[in-house]
């Protein structure tokens, strides 16, 4: 673990901590530690800008104001150096092993028992919370045990488990606050651009002219330059200083912008150039920056879909601050919005309105899914953690029944959140597909092994037919595992007892073909039309009786699309269903429809 003075704090002050739901969740976590582990006092602190700030407290109210005063994060360093390690997170410093401690420590009065393990007022017991890099992000401190004794092995284990839950809750809270802050910055800038660049019947030149002022003011830039790649488009280049004075760009600079913009758009990235310092940038750019008295430029591609439409540059002078990560991310997102504006400016009014409406709807859906998933994650983690703790207790029969019901509900909610997060991930163009060689045979075997228990419980026969050769495709292993898992689990779910589910993986023409068939209840022709849409639920009452989120096949379709493959369904109500997926081999990345592939030579495995 890194002590506070060994690592620079990576977690800045989230503006919403003071009144956010994160504080309420962490307060609930502190109360759970106090009640379930058996301590009268619990304080949960987080590291914010090199300070240890108490955000949740359980104990005597007269001490709250004192305890909640922030301390430097390194106030814990001497404690961690001298303390005895009781577990991965737990540290105990006995009263006899230290003198007076710096910071806002409280010695809570407590009658000391005549026992060798009696708790003393100066004893220190805390759990250190860290992130994946080992950087401290917070601490949980407890005092005044109800037993009057230092905790035994059982209490230590319980406290360690609660500390792990608190650690996840703190990290999730930081992620949530950072997400909300970034969304707020991005939305503010995007609203300015939309207001300036979306007037009715606006020409391309009017769009470029109207976006200059919001850009330089919103980003505190000294100037802006927007260039449209379409050479035949009049008025397609607009460069102005902050005061509106026109700047004429040299032909060599324009040519470099036209060369680099498509690459930036393809990689979904931006380029920050510091005058005289950034390597790999042509000398003509550095000379131009020097001639204009500029210290840095933020270059952003403009586009829509797969098409790069133009180039935007925001400049700053030497006295201006460097570009922050939030500004860079906001500018990159504006590249999408302004690219859409350029496209719609060249289109008919009806087409422009339709594209804008669809894009706003897609933006709203993506933000809704991401925000809702993050909002649900933290309280769900607390619920699941407390249910797990309760499950270790000796409960009465009625309590066990309610505990089992709540656990099922928690698991159901976790499945919904996991599906939402997966859909948000695979639907987000800012997360391009990173491919590695993946053997579809191995993934299919693992999926079938995992589903075997469910199939046996329903007395189903699962037939597995695999081509006796490596079936390797370029793809994301996690996404392909989810794709096959969703198809097979659906087949098991919607096949009545005694039925058969068949899983085939074969080598087709330039692709690997996956077929999942069943002789279950089938899908009507009307339902097949919307089958791959998000949140789709069938109109078949028998199928509706099965629990589901309506996201499984939407995730399948999106993953197939990301892998440039194809998916098809053949089904008849009451006669079973067959899903066929084609994934292109490494040398053939194309999304052609799956042809009728003859039955391959294969080794058959039957699970009954």
Q: What is the pLDDT of residues 341-370, one digit of tens each?
A: 777 776 644 454 465 676 667 666 666 666
Winning range, highest mean pLDDT, from 1-5, 141-145, 422-426:
141-145
Q: Can you tell me the distance from the alpha carbon of 461 to that of 467, in angstroms, rounded to the nearest whole number? A: 20
Identify the residue whose tokens are 């350029």: 342
Dihedral pair phi/psi, residue 130, rounded to 5°: -130, 165
Winning range, highest mean pLDDT, from 233-242, 259-268, 371-380:
259-268
pLDDT (0 to 100) of residue 583: 93
Q: Can you tell me the distance from the alpha carbon of 385 to that of 163, in angstroms, rounded to the nearest whole number? A: 11
Q: Give the residue among 357, 375, 486, 473 at the shortest CA–CA distance from 426.
A: 486
Q: Is the per-residue pLDDT at 389 higher than 90?
A: no
Q: How confident is the model at residue 12 (pLDDT cuts 50, 70, 90)?
A: very low
Q: How confident is the model at residue 86 (pLDDT cuts 50, 70, 90)?
A: very high
Domains 198-346 and 436-607 share a fold: no
Q: Is the per-residue pLDDT at 200 higher than 90?
A: no
Give the residue-averaged pLDDT of 410-422: 71
Which range, of 198-202, 543-547, 549-553, averages the lowest pLDDT? 198-202
Give the residue-averaged pLDDT of 377-394: 75
CATH 1.10.150.120 fits 198-346, yes or no: no
Q: How far out from the chain centre does Cα 386 lie?
A: 24
Give the residue-averaged pLDDT of 207-227: 82
Percentage of the chain with pLDDT > 70? 78
pLDDT (0 to 100) of residue 3: 35
Give the residue-averaged pLDDT of 199-223: 75
Q: Can you tell me the distance from the alpha carbon of 217 to that of 314, in angstroms, rounded to the nearest whole number? A: 11
Tokens at residue 137, please?
A: 């992000």
Give the residue-averaged pLDDT of 546-552: 69
Q: Is the per-residue pLDDT at 375 higher than 70?
A: no
Q: Can you tell me the distance from the alpha carbon of 157 to that of 309, in angstroms, rounded to the nearest whole number? A: 59
pLDDT (0 to 100) of residue 395: 74
Question: Structure pTM?
Answer: 0.39
pLDDT (0 to 100) of residue 594: 35
pLDDT (0 to 100) of residue 44: 92
Q: Can you tell me the distance from the alpha carbon of 157 to that of 416, in angstroms, rounded to the nearest whole number? A: 31
Q: Is the per-residue pLDDT at 154 higher than 60?
A: yes
Q: Is the per-residue pLDDT at 33 higher than 90?
A: no
Q: Is the per-residue pLDDT at 506 higher than 80?
A: yes
Dihedral pair phi/psi, residue 312, rounded to 5°: -125, 135
Q: Can you tell me the distance from the alpha carbon of 26 to that of 16, in angstroms, rounded to the nearest whole number? A: 14
Q: Can you tell me the distance from the alpha carbon of 214 to that of 338, in angstroms, rounded to the nearest whole number? A: 12
* CATH class of residue range 17-160: alpha beta
User: Which has the higher per-residue pLDDT, 121 or 530?
Assistant: 121
Which range, of 232-236, 563-567, 599-603, averages the lowest pLDDT? 599-603
Q: How confident is the model at residue 9 (pLDDT cuts 50, 70, 90)?
A: very low
The pLDDT tens digits of the residues spanning 302-351 come to 988 888 988 999 999 888 888 888 788 888 888 888 888 777 776 644 45
CATH 3.60.20.40 fits 436-607, yes or no: no
Give the residue-averaged pLDDT of 374-381: 69
Give the residue-averaged pLDDT of 579-594: 67
Query: Do residues 426 and 464 make contact, with C-beta atoms less than 8 angstroms apart?
Result: no
pLDDT (0 to 100) of residue 181: 60
pLDDT (0 to 100) of residue 23: 80
Q: How confident is the model at residue 590 (pLDDT cuts 50, 70, 90)?
A: very low
Beta strands in 247-350 (DSSP E): 271-274, 296-304, 307-316
Q: Is the per-residue pLDDT at 388 higher than 50?
A: yes
Each domain of the chain, given as residue ranges in start order, spans 17-160, 198-346, 358-427, 436-607
Long-range pairs, 289-296, Cβ under 8 A, ≥24:
289/315, 292/223, 292/247, 293/317, 294/222, 294/223, 295/320, 296/272, 296/320, 296/322, 296/323
Give the residue-averaged pLDDT of 486-492: 90
Identify the residue whose tokens are 């989810």: 482
Q: Give the residue among 55, 64, 47, 36 at the shortest CA–CA distance from 11.
A: 47
Mean pLDDT of the chain: 79
Which range, of 94-108, 180-194, 279-293, 510-524, averages the lowest pLDDT? 180-194
Q: Is the per-residue pLDDT at 545 higher than 60?
A: no
Give the residue-averaged pLDDT of 490-504: 90
Q: Can you tell me the distance from the alpha carbon of 68 to that of 52, in angstroms, rounded to the nearest whole number? A: 9
Give the residue-averaged pLDDT of 83-99: 89
pLDDT (0 to 100) of residue 540: 64
Q: By 3-state DSSP, what share of the chain in percent is helix, strand and coil, each rounded to 5?
A: 45, 20, 35
Question: How many Cβ atoms are within 10 Å of 531's Cβ, its own excluded?
Answer: 18
Give the residue-averaged pLDDT of 206-211: 77
pLDDT (0 to 100) of residue 512: 93
Which range, of 141-150, 314-323, 525-534, averages the lowest pLDDT? 525-534
pLDDT (0 to 100) of residue 183: 57
Q: Is the per-residue pLDDT at 497 higher than 80?
A: yes
Q: Is the per-residue pLDDT at 498 higher than 80?
A: yes
Give the residue-averaged pLDDT of 270-279: 90
Which residues have C-beta within 8 Å of that of residue 286, sequence separation ≥ 6? 273, 275, 276
Q: Can you tell me the distance from the alpha carbon of 27 to that of 59, in angstroms, rounded to the nearest whole number? A: 12
User: In this structure, are strands 566-572 and 511-518 parallel, antiparallel, or unpaired?
Assistant: unpaired
Which secondary-structure segment (H or E) carries 177? Answer: helix 153-197
What is the torsional sign of CA 371, 376, 377, 382?
positive
Beta strands in 379-460 (DSSP E): 436-439
């Amino acid at each position: 673990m890194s002590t506070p003075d060994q690592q620079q704090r990576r977690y800045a002050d989230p503006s919403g901590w003071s009144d956010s739901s994160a504080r309420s969740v962490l307060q609930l976590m502190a109360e759970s530690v106090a009640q379930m582990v058996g301590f009268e006092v619990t304080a949960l602190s987080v590291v914010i800008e090199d300070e240890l700030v108490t955000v949740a407290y359980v104990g005597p109210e007269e001490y709250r104001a004192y305890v909640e005063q922030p301390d430097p994060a390194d106030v814990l360093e001497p404690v961690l150096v001298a303390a005895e390690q009781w577990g991965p997170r737990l540290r105990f410093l006995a009263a006899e092993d230290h003198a007076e401690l710096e910071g806002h420590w409280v010695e809570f009065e407590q009658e000391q028992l005549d026992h060798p393990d009696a708790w003393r007022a100066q004893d220190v017991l805390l759990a250190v919370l860290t992130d994946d890099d080992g950087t401290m992000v917070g601490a949980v401190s407890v005092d005044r045990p109800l037993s009057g004794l230092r905790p035994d092995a059982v209490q230590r284990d319980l406290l360690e488990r609660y500390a792990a839950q608190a650690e996840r809750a703190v990290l999730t809270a930081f992620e949530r606050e950072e997400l909300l802050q970034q969304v707020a910055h991005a939305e503010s800038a995007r609203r300015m651009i939309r207001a300036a660049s979306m007037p009715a019947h606006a020409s391309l030149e009017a769009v470029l002219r109207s976006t200059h002022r919001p850009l330089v003011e919103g980003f505190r830039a000294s100037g802006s330059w927007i260039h449209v790649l379409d050479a035949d488009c009049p008025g397609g280049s607009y460069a102005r200083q902050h005061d509106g004075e026109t700047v004429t760009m040299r032909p060599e600079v324009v040519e470099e912008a036209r060369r680099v913009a498509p690459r930036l758009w393809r990689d979904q990235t931006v380029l920050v150039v510091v005058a005289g310092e950034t390597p790999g940038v042509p000398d003509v750019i550095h000379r131009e920056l020097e001639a204009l008295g500029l210290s840095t430029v933020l270059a952003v591609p403009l586009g829509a879909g797969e098409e790069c439409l133009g180039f935007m540059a925001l400049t700053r002078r030497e006295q201006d601050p460097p570009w922050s990560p939030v500004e860079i991310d906001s500018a990159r997102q504006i590249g999408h919005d302004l690219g859409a504006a350029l496209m719609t400016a060249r289109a008919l009014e009806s087409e422009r309105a339709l594209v804008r409406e669809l894009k706003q709807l897609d933006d709203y859906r993506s933000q809704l899914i991401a925000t809702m998933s993050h909002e649900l994650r933290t309280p769900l983690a607390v619920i699941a953690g407390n249910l797990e703790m309760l499950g270790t207790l000796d409960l009465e029969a009625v309590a066990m029944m309610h505990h089992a019901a709540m656990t099922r509900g928690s698991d159901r909610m976790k499945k919904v959140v996991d599906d939402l997060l997966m859909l948000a991930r695979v639907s987000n163009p800012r997360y391009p597909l990173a491919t590695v060689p993946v053997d579809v045979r191995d993934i299919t075997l693992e999926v079938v092994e995992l589903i075997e228990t469910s199939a046996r419980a329903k007395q189903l026969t699962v037939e597995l037919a695999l081509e006796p050769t490596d079936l390797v495709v370029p793809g994301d292993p996690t996404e392909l595992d989810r794709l096959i898992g969703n198809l097979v689990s659906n087949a098991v779910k919607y096949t009545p007892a005694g039925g058969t589910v068949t899983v085939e993986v074969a080598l087709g023409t330039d692709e690997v073909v996956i077929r999942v068939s069943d002789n279950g209840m089938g899908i009507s022709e009307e339902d097949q039309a919307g089958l791959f849409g998000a949140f789709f639920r069938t109109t078949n009452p028998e199928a509706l009786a099965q629990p589901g989120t309506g996201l499984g096949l939407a995730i399948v379709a999106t993953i197939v699309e990301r892998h440039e493959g194809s998916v098809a369904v053949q089904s008849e109500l009451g006669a079973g269903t067959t899903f066929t997926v084609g994934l292109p081999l490494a040398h053939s990345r194309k999304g052609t429809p799956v042809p009728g592939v003859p039955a391959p030579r294969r080794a058959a495995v039957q699970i009954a």
